[in-house]
Structure 1
């Protein structure tokens, strides 16, 4: 998921557009690879940048789902989740990956 989001953002926006939103002081992000999921979310929350994507998806719905998945991901990465993940969480992640494959290319 992280890789796909990074590819979408790197393919659609310039680094200055991204750092202007996520790292205005220029202290943390030197490349798209330095971005976090929270940074991806910040970029996609921006109505102007979202419009540049040209996706026929509702931005607010997409961002709400991305927030859910960010929480799931963080719980997994920090070993705070149940093992295995609930099917509903797995389905949400799969659905987002499918959307990113479909619209992100």
Structure 2
């Protein structure tokens, strides 16, 4: 991937780095890369928890969290639900790919 930072080891003026210092620098570089990858994965999981991967819209979990926040703030929310009639018929006759496309159109 693209560089995320610079790891710089400084020694005394004119001193050569030892094999030990080079090894520590190498390990530090790998640890930093793992930490960055772990954070990227955590953010991706958080996105999947809160948003539908197909539409990118907030999902049921996101809605529940949002409504809980409103109730905690003593706000009375109004919720409109939209149902898609006969979506199971589309799934049964044409498959999930077509049903997904139908839902995206709605």
TM-score (norm 2): 0.27
Q: Which has the higher helix share?
A: 1
Greater Rg over alpha carbons, structure: 2
